[in-house]
Amino acid sequence: MAVPKKRKSKSKNNLQNLRRKAQIQAKKALSKAKKTLNLLKLKINTISTKLETKIDNYCDNVDPTRGTCIGIMSYSSFILILPISILYRKLFLEYTWEQILEKAFDPVAVATYKLTFSLALFTAVFNTAFGFCVAWIITRFNFRGRALIDKMVDVPLCLPTSAGGIAITSVFGNKGLFGPILQAANIKIVYSKFGVLLAMMFVSFPFVVRSVQPIIERFDIEMEEAAWCAGGSPYETASRVIFPALIPALISGFTITFARSIGEFGTVVMLSSNLAFDDLVTSVLVFQSLEQYDLCAARSITGTVIIFAYIFLFTMNSARSIYNRRTSRYSY
């Protein structure tokens, strides 16, 4: 049977309507998807911008050398602070205060403190003055043997301390170069306080020279010439132009020389008789206490010397810092 024309037209219209509805729904879905994608893009852009700003702020605030500094400070703490802290920990845990004070301030120990610090102070003063003169001559004057003297200054740093003791003994000992002359004059250097003083001077001599020499090399000679042209005398030029720039280096050299003299052992033990109340110094007394298995005395004396040395170093470093702040106009 044939399908009527009216039914065919209705079915076509229905199909067309369905297609139109489907197209309209598809367009709506696409527009919604586009809007959603655009919103996602905006959110991603804002998040990435915030992350970039946070990263930039973090990079600006964080020092790139922070890790290196932490590593260096950790190593320094392990090498310096840890042994000293363990020393005091064992000292206070294993012994009473009465035992510690008795050993630390025993008459023999007190005598060694006085002798060690007095000789170290004299050594620091003498080597500071003489080392400045040597540094000035090496830097400002040209003469034959200048390079040799400049290299010889560092010899005490290269030698074992016992070798320094042997070298001084071969000059001032009874059978040394000047031994017969000293014996004839009834002067005793080796195995006396003079021997200890020579030992301290020998091992600590380079520190002042090497502390002052770079400052003299960088010093502008035109400043001296300007002072002379202004009518300044040599004394005024030295006191107002030269020495203000050298004082921080002289303080550093003086401090290192004093500290090195306190801790010297190898050369001192060979040039002194090591007798109590005569020429016995603190470093040798600590060694003698260890030889006698008196750990309480060794640790107590060591702890006391560390405290004295820290007070001295803190005072000298504070003085240098105060001077640097007050005389900042002399910096180059």
pTM assigned to the model: 0.75
Q: Which two tokens stand for residue 125?
A: 């003063």
**What is the per-residue pLDDT for 67?**
67
Tell me the mean pLDDT in the region 32-46. Answer: 73
Q: Please tell me the distance from the alpha carbon of residue 69 to that of residue 325, in angstroms, as a whole number.
A: 25
**What is the per-residue pLDDT for 196?**
94
Tell me the mean pLDDT in the region 147-164. Answer: 89
pLDDT for 3 beyond 50: no
Q: Tell me the residue type at 203.
A: V
Element (DSSP H or E) covering residue 292: none
What's the per-residue H, E or C state across 169-207?
A: HHHHCCCCCCHHHHHHCCCCCCCCHHHHHHHHHHHHHHH
pLDDT for 104 beyond 70: yes
Q: Tell me the residue type at 311.
A: I
Tell me the mean pLDDT in the region 42-48. Answer: 73
pLDDT for 15 beyond 70: no
Q: Please tell me the distance from the alpha carbon of residue 297 to that of residue 105, in angstroms, as a whole number.
A: 10
Tell me the mean pLDDT in the region 249-278. Answer: 91
**What is the per-residue pLDDT for 296?**
92
For the chain, the average pLDDT equals 83
**What is the per-residue pLDDT for 64?**
58
pLDDT in tens, 49-84: 777 776 666 555 555 566 677 777 788 778 888 889
Domain residue extents for the chain = 85-328
Q: Please tell me the distance from the alpha carbon of residue 332 to that of residue 327, in angstroms, as a whole number.
A: 11
More confident: 162 or 227? 162
Tell me the mean pLDDT in the region 98-122. Answer: 94
pLDDT in tens, 270-312: 999 889 898 899 999 999 999 999 999 999 999 999 999 999 9
Tell me the mean pLDDT in the region 125-139. Answer: 93
**What is the per-residue pLDDT for 202?**
93
More confident: 132 or 232? 132
Tell me the mean pLDDT in the region 83-92. Answer: 90
**What is the per-residue pLDDT for 146?**
87
Tell me the mean pLDDT in the region 94-117. Answer: 93
**What is the per-residue pLDDT for 57?**
66
**What is the per-residue pLDDT for 58?**
59
pLDDT for 252 beyond 50: yes
Confidence tier at 31 by pLDDT (50, 70, 90): confident
The torsion angles phi and psi of 83, rounded to 5 degrees, stand at: -60, -40
What sign does the CA torsion over 281, 283, 286, 291 have? negative
Q: Which residue carries 């040394």 as its tokens?
A: 176
**What is the per-residue pLDDT for 183?**
87
**What is the per-residue pLDDT for 59?**
57
Topology of the domain comprising 85-328: MetI-like fold (1.10.3720)
More confident: 228 or 265? 265
**What is the per-residue pLDDT for 103?**
93
Confidence tier at 332 by pLDDT (50, 70, 90): very low
